[in-house]
Structure 1
Amino acid sequence: MSEASTAKMGAIGGRDVLEGAFALLEALAHGNEMGLTRLASAAGLPKATAYRLLNQLVAEGAVQRRGGRYQIGPRVFRLGQTWQPAQLLRSASARPLRQLTAASERGGFSLAVSDRGHTMLIGGIGREIDEIFPLRPGVLLPPGTAAEQVLAFGQPNPTPPDGFSAREWRRHVTTSRDADLAYDTDMSRFRLACVAAPVHGPGGEIVAALAATVAEVRRIPAVAEAVKRAAGSASTNLTKLLRSHRALTL
């Protein structure tokens, strides 16, 4: 085998193969179907390498391929549903989210957590919002959302997301923390606005953000206090569930 071939094999072997596969899955985690060229670019991989890894992921059920386009497969979804923190948070938030949905004619409601610098949805009820942006588990939110502001409340020096200076982001987070509510009314990106409130764990730590998303910014004030109350109910439910879970495991 030539030195060039050996180097090429090393570049796609072992840990690098796993990193490449996860980069592809991360790119697909935004919830949209993608073609090979765009997907390879998003994952930072050569097109041939991406194609080879995608074939393996399709064979394992981690990725689905339809007409030359790719999306997250059922196996990844099934494995993700077993993540215990998400299960407990979804259970704690289920009733508050249903009540919000019943009281609102339009809009979507969601639950998000931090994941290695990203803001990831673990639950959502989209209604007409899904037509603009999918509120589905596993979807990564764009930078600077109300949910991301909430999840930064407990950080002494929150890292600014793309598009924000450190000073600007600190100002957003401080203002939102003082109100115990965060807002994102920038309609230029997705024609959507959102408001979010923190869900707390038993020790008072912020573990998730519960948010309402609407297609009309004028509707934000009407749902803001309802979102805060729902997040408070979810926090209370979570504490009860965790205590019950711990009692059962003793």
Structure 2
Amino acid sequence: MEALGAVENVRGRYRVGAQMFRLGQAWEPVPGILRVARQPLRALSATIRTSTILAVPRRDRVLVAAASIVRAEDVVRLRPGATVPAGMAFVSAPVRTPTSVVVGTVSAVLDSGRSATALREAVGHAARAISAALVS
């Protein structure tokens, strides 16, 4: 596995190798979704001034597929590939394929003292933009 780049031996300990990292970075829950999600997530975060994610269901968990991080405390918790943390409050809207299948959600971190109602429209707009881009 070391020769294939799947693992690396660093001071007698094995860790994920560069080839496995590259393979992981290429994973997408739906073809093209990461490419089309980046700009709407960034725009949403800039508009509402909080961290946003594209979350996707995978077996018995929900994974962060893409993120636009604004809050320093979210860097580790919301990195792509992480499981969406339990107990964290979000405002979410569905992302749909052209056949209306829900493939994930756009979610914004709901800070204490903020109204979910104020975020709902902006989050919904970003989710619709990503859904529409999946058509092309």
Under a length normalisation based on structure 1, what TM-score does the superposition of the two structures give? 0.46
Alignment of 1:159-174 (within 5 A): none
The match for 1:96 is 40
Gapped regions of structure 2 (runs ≥ 5): none
The secondary structure found in structure 2 opposite 1:218 is coil
Secondary structure (helix, strand or coil) at the match of 1:94 reads: helix
Partner amino acid, structure 1, of 2:82? V
CA distance in 1, matches of 2:9, 2:119: 37
* 1:138-177 to 2 correspondences below 5 Å: 138-143=81-86
Q: Considering only CA atoms, is the larger Rg found in Structure 1 or Structure 2?
A: 1
1:81–1:87: 8 Å Cα contact kept in structure 2? no
Equivalent residue in structure 2 for 1:228, among 118, 124, 127: 124
Q: Give the corresponding residue for 1:109.
A: 52
- Asked whether the equivalents of residues 113 and 119 of structure 1 are also in contact (C-alpha less than 8 Å), the reply is yes
1:213 aligns with 2:105: no
Question: 2:37–2:66: 8 Å Cα contact kept in structure 1?
Answer: no
Please give the residue correspondences for 1:1-250 in structure 2 after superposition, counting only pairs within 5 Å. 60-62=5-7, 74-85=18-29, 88-105=32-49, 107-131=50-74, 133-143=76-86, 189=87, 192-240=88-136
Matched pairs, number:
134
* Structure 1 segments unaligned to the other structure (5+ residues): 1-55, 144-188, 241-250
1:30-74 CA distance string (max 9 Å, x none): xxxxxxxxxxxxxxxxxxxxxxxxxx78x95547879x8x97654
Separation (CA, whole Å) in 2 of partners of 1:65 and 1:127: 33
Contact conserved, 1:92 with 1:234, CA < 8 A, in 2? yes
Q: 1:132 to 1:214 in 2, by over 3 A?
A: farther
Residue 231 and residue 64 in structure 1: after superposition, are their counterparts in 2 closer, same or farther (change >3 A)? farther
Matched to 2:132, the amino acid is T
Q: Could you report, residue by residue, the CA deviation over 1:93-139 in whole angstroms, capped at 9, with x for unpaired residues?
A: 1221121122123x211011111111111100122154475221110
Higher strand share: 2
The CA distance in 2 between the partners of 1:226 and 1:194, in whole Å, is 13
TM-score, normalising length: structure 2: 0.78
Q: In structure 1, what residue type is equivalent to 2:27?
A: W
Greater helix proportion = 1
Q: Deviations over 1:167-213 (max 9, x none)?
A: xxxxxxxxxxxxxxxxxxxxxx4xx4211110000101101111001
Partner-residue secondary structure (3-state), 1:221: helix
Q: What residue identity is the alignment partner of 2:110?
A: V
